[in-house]
Structure 1
């Protein structure tokens, strides 16, 4: 680790060519001020040619000049000009420049510019949710569904062509996956979201992830010295319906910043799944449908206080209370080789689910000096509990619908409890030759899984020791990182980082009396290089190495039965997979963005539909089984030549090549996929806008699977009233009901399985939102440090 850190310093030192440079960071006392004007004037009051610039998104600026005496001026709309006399003889760092709000002229300023719906940054694609009509009135999961290149299928969130993506909220990772993650995102109102960052190659500061990348959901931030309240109601109609009420309150005055939000939903949604399994001597057709309750409630409270100009303390709490109870039925038809029905199974299922999560954060931020050195410390606690009671009976009938007997009947009581404690320290340390940042994190996770199964075929519950299980899993991670950024001359930017992670895992199955442990120490480098040739052309390259860890459920070795001939089991011997990622980009005037992306994954793991052809038993297993290479070329094009029509378009072409382990009796599905999306906003009047969105994903072959094509057409209408304080929206999602997973097929051990699902993607959503206050809200939301430990819970 010491040698790697030394290499970073030597590299940045070598590249830091000695030049006369004036640098600084502009803030408004709490937030960076982007796009502020910075320029020098000489002793005659004349602006010095080629010595001006603007601040970047972090408020940082760098301008070149010669030795001499100057006056520097920093200006931005709504703030008083900041001026200072300077004698420049060497490189000069002004540190943190704080602009003072111009209260006399602020009310006269009206800013009408609006960010694009999609923006391409050096290391991420940004989807500005607040500008998307299709996301109004929904939740975070709805916003992700309309984000470019993001797919939500079968409770899995991923980038096109990638593995499962990790989700962050305000820069902090969630330790939830699958259905639990979707339930959590359903509790966040999309109207509270400012933007979604799609990061294929995260910098060293972030926790390391694999080929799925990171999706960062960022809350809205407003203006200082103000308060604002927003209330809303949303009605969603699919086969069933549900209603959501929400309220958000923000207060930012003097030294206090307060945010409070509550959300609640009640109603139902329909879920459908189906599969066909082709055994040598028979075919199974399985169809299930359930009516799931959308009863969830959540609340978020945050408070931050400025002890002094340099020290801020704060804390926050986020809690969710979900009751996604479900009633469902399923039919399995057994078809013989002659194509006639032999028998069938009918499954009646009642599920009662209680899911609660609690996230606590406390933090301290200290500005150490005026040159930009800053340290922040986060203490986090995360607790998640999922208590499930499942009561089901599977009856067997003949082809003439004659009752033959009970195939299976049981009551399952399962409880999953996850606890996480973590502490994280981040240091920003600008030097004369490089902007340095470094830090570390300690994380301690414990998850307990308790499954009790009772056989109820006789009518009286009998405890079944063979189908009951207790499993405990512990994971401790210690991480250190260092990152250096350097601007060379006016057109080159370099950023390099290293992250060192030491992971210790322990798994124990009390039922099987089995212990498993795994310890590994890994280094993960990142590199970003960008070159601004001129105002029209920008080129960039980045590289990163990532890790993908299995979820807690994947590691549980116990076997749970769906019926007497079908079961699912985890695997405590799954090893993490590792991915190398490369991206080359070209940006032409911000309107045409070209990306070349390549990823190479080793020891890949996943879920397999395996089968015992001789005994006709269907199994769902998890294991490491492949290595793969993935290539994608993509284009993002923005059309805004007309004031009444803005169109942002994205398309990609990808190739995947997979090599399977020798002991897996299957063939890899290597192929290509074409993906296209277009987002169009039409201004129909001063207060009326129409949005039409469409995406299409062609048939795709990847890993073991062959997936059918999918597409989505969505239309949304927004109408504003009362000087934009009242907004109404009507959205028709997936009008043709074609956005759900269909015909996902795989073949293992000579048995082909075809799977599909529909989670009511076609629906109509109507919402009303009313806001009042002084319209100058500026609440800075801080993420939870334990969200690194919330993404793999199930």
Structure 2
């Protein structure tokens, strides 16, 4: 009851406030007639869209704005874009605005506007991926990996120097992490994406989940009163081949907007892994070669309908089905103290796996009154399921190849189901003194997983209850937030927010008869300050507190045996980790951006590879075992060296100071890390582009692990044909095969372990993209409900 009262206490004062506002109107025409159904957009000084309208049949428009400075932007197909700085202190009439037609005559030089690849906003970095040729025929995961300051490492999406990040699609959180999240992102076509927002310190409106912040994938909506279809066919060649077919369709007319996409993929990927453990008695070296099936089918439907000029309702549906079967050949060599081969194990296995997920969203957005108060509701349902059936046999051999015995033989059956249902309400409440936003969200998550193991070493399957388990987990979360945004003058802007999250979790292992319950109530404050010194220099300072909750699989206490002397287990007592994030940034002419940041982490958790030198066994466990800080300096430079050479460059210097809070027989090590990337687009002609990208990360140490260098050189080429309705693109990714995880070293109990993983990052891709549609379809006049009464007044 106290918690409910606290929620009401936070929200109640907000409904008692009022404000005054002013009217902005005008009329739009070309040199001949009025221009109807044209978008009029209002942006604040940070470039954020805060209001908008569509012109009526006579070209007129009207908006309600608070006192302040804004930019009016008017764009209509076939006309040059119009923008103007305005200051609202009273009712304002812009009068007649004449748009100029875009007319191209023979012999004229056509100069096309080019959106900047990187745009710096107050609280986020916007990456417009369409400028990068390497994203042609790619997917959402590869597009995120090309974003500045973002790297995908060990199935985790990280913002450099800040940690693991959660991913949203159009502002809606995806309830997946790790490998499952990456597989889901691979089903989304990059051609469906408008831009990617890197939000290193999100406001209180967003979930506090994600130490490194949030990455928001913004999908395309399609142009007004038009339809368009894009078909993409591509072929990737690594050791094996992968075929991909994608089709995206957009239709917008009057009050109705509809989009649909379908994606299909088939082929194989080669994965190589190595794990070396150096015992005193002699090293053990494991090599794994896996042939992974990339078979996948996915689709998306989205529609929005305007009930009135103030109210819109919409629905989205995404579905994905995969069959990622794989064959694995595992060889484990055991050496004596003289590093002579003593014996080896050959493990052959086949995994039949099926996975899928589906997402439903229903949303409603309505403007409550002429004061521009806006209320939105979202209902989301997400379901993920995975089933696999694995047969394997591991045989022991002497050094000369003589068969000794069967080390292990078995059959694993596993099922996992995750369901999430959430309800969210958000209110934008502009006032005379300050712009407020507030809202609430409730979320209900259930995860059921079971593992059944049959020992087949005798030839007859026998149930092994020690390797059979069912784990049920529930997590419920309730949250409220409030945020206030205040522009003091032309130079200063402040924003402060507070989010309160209440979480209840319950995990139960049936075979272990073990139940773990957690309840916690946490506050997450945020603060932003920005200062525009002049048109060339702007500064910002922000702070936010974040949480990183363990994924469902990490909380399952059951042991999964990798071999007879190696197993992995979860930890139901894992606690969430917290981070306090500080960042100061400076932008010069919007081409040079400098950021200085520091993240303080408490209750940090992660994977520990513990080798026992007495039993020659390995245990892979998860623990809250460290605290510390991550810090760094980042530079991003956008350059146009010539009209035909555009370049985006970044350089990060990162460091960490990690200390162990758990009794681990290991010594923490920390060092400097340097990350460099350069993305270069060369316009060889109006229809031909060449892309050359290069990234490099130095070796570095952080806490328990030391990681080797990574680098990648990528070259892409795109040719536009048939008046840009067709594109042919060619990409060679990671030419020198150096972008994979290599030499990941940890030393626990005096035993050195070295792990590497190569997932076929080197490949060549040929793709063909074909676009067709109608840029302007016939539209009907959008009459008001009181049209008859209006006529009677004339």
* TM-score normalised to structure 1 length: 0.88
Secondary structure of 1:76's partner? strand
> 1:536 & 1:486 partners in 2: Cα distance?
22
| Residues 316 and 185 (structure 1), Cα distance of their counterparts in 2 relative to 1, 3 Å cut | same
Secondary structure of 1:770's partner? strand
1:607-645 deviation line (CA, Å, top 9, x unaligned) = 111122211111110010000101110111111141011
1:340-398 deviation line (CA, Å, top 9, x unaligned) = 01111111010011001111111111111122111111111111110011111111110
* Higher relative contact order, structure no. (Cα contacts within 8 Å, ≥ 6 residues apart): 1
- Does 2:81 match 1:78? no
| Residues 311 and 602 (structure 1), Cα distance of their counterparts in 2 relative to 1, 3 Å cut | same
- Does 2:130 match 1:134? no
1:259-289 deviation line (CA, Å, top 9, x unaligned) = 1100000011101111111122121111101
- Does 2:134 match 1:173? no
Quote the residue 2:464 is aligned against: 464
Quote the residue 2:335 is aligned against: 335
In the alignment, is the contact (CA less than 8 A) between 1:210 and 1:547 conserved in 2? Answer: yes
RMSD: 3.3
| Residues 570 and 222 (structure 1), Cα distance of their counterparts in 2 relative to 1, 3 Å cut | same
| Residues 744 and 129 (structure 1), Cα distance of their counterparts in 2 relative to 1, 3 Å cut | same
Aligned ranges for residues 322-401 of structure 1 at < 5 Å?
322-401=322-401
> 1:572 & 1:186 partners in 2: Cα distance?
30
In the alignment, is the contact (CA less than 8 A) between 1:419 and 1:445 conserved in 2? Answer: yes
In structure 1, the gaps of 5 or more residues are 39-52, 66-71, 779-794
> 2:698 & 2:235 partners in 1: Cα distance?
32
Quote the residue 2:697 is aligned against: 697
| Residues 143 and 458 (structure 1), Cα distance of their counterparts in 2 relative to 1, 3 Å cut | same
1:83-132 deviation line (CA, Å, top 9, x unaligned) = 9xxxx9x96589xx999999995898998211122222222222211111
Quote the residue 1:411 is aligned against: 411
> 2:124 & 2:313 partners in 1: Cα distance?
30
In the alignment, is the contact (CA less than 8 A) between 2:198 and 2:216 conserved in 1? Answer: yes
> 1:34 & 1:257 partners in 2: Cα distance?
19
Q: CA deviation at 1:74?
A: 5.4
| Residues 21 and 648 (structure 1), Cα distance of their counterparts in 2 relative to 1, 3 Å cut | farther
Q: CA deviation at 1:291?
A: 0.6
* TM-score normalised to structure 2 length: 0.88
> 2:365 & 2:540 partners in 1: Cα distance?
32
In the alignment, is the contact (CA less than 8 A) between 1:224 and 1:777 conserved in 2? Answer: no
> 1:462 & 1:582 partners in 2: Cα distance?
56
> 2:618 & 2:46 partners in 1: Cα distance?
62
Secondary structure of 1:554's partner? helix
Q: CA deviation at 1:499?
A: 0.6
> 2:309 & 2:459 partners in 1: Cα distance?
70
In the alignment, is the contact (CA less than 8 A) between 2:440 and 2:479 conserved in 1? Answer: yes
1:459-478 deviation line (CA, Å, top 9, x unaligned) = 11111111000000000000
> 1:609 & 1:294 partners in 2: Cα distance?
29
Q: CA deviation at 1:211?
A: 2.6
> 1:98 & 1:393 partners in 2: Cα distance?
78
In the alignment, is the contact (CA less than 8 A) between 2:38 and 2:75 conserved in 1? Answer: no
- Does 2:218 match 1:224? no
Q: CA deviation at 1:482?
A: 0.8
In the alignment, is the contact (CA less than 8 A) between 1:168 and 1:174 conserved in 2? Answer: yes
- Does 2:311 match 1:311? yes
| Residues 346 and 217 (structure 1), Cα distance of their counterparts in 2 relative to 1, 3 Å cut | same
In the alignment, is the contact (CA less than 8 A) between 1:348 and 1:394 conserved in 2? Answer: yes
In the alignment, is the contact (CA less than 8 A) between 1:223 and 1:776 conserved in 2? Answer: no
Aligned ranges for residues 288-303 of structure 1 at < 5 Å?
288-303=288-303
| Residues 9 and 473 (structure 1), Cα distance of their counterparts in 2 relative to 1, 3 Å cut | closer
Deviates more, 1:219-228 or 1:352-361: 219-228
In the alignment, is the contact (CA less than 8 A) between 1:289 and 1:328 conserved in 2? Answer: yes
Deviates more, 1:410-419 or 1:663-672: 663-672
| Residues 517 and 240 (structure 1), Cα distance of their counterparts in 2 relative to 1, 3 Å cut | same
Q: CA deviation at 1:156?
A: 2.2
| Residues 104 and 312 (structure 1), Cα distance of their counterparts in 2 relative to 1, 3 Å cut | farther
Quote the residue 2:273 is aligned against: 273
| Residues 316 and 335 (structure 1), Cα distance of their counterparts in 2 relative to 1, 3 Å cut | same
Quote the residue 1:719 is aligned against: 719
> 1:421 & 1:647 partners in 2: Cα distance?
43
Q: CA deviation at 1:198?
A: 1.4
In the alignment, is the contact (CA less than 8 A) between 2:67 and 2:90 conserved in 1? Answer: no
1:325-351 deviation line (CA, Å, top 9, x unaligned) = 001101110111111011111110100
Quote the residue 2:530 is aligned against: 530
> 1:695 & 1:329 partners in 2: Cα distance?
32
In the alignment, is the contact (CA less than 8 A) between 1:34 and 1:55 conserved in 2? Answer: no
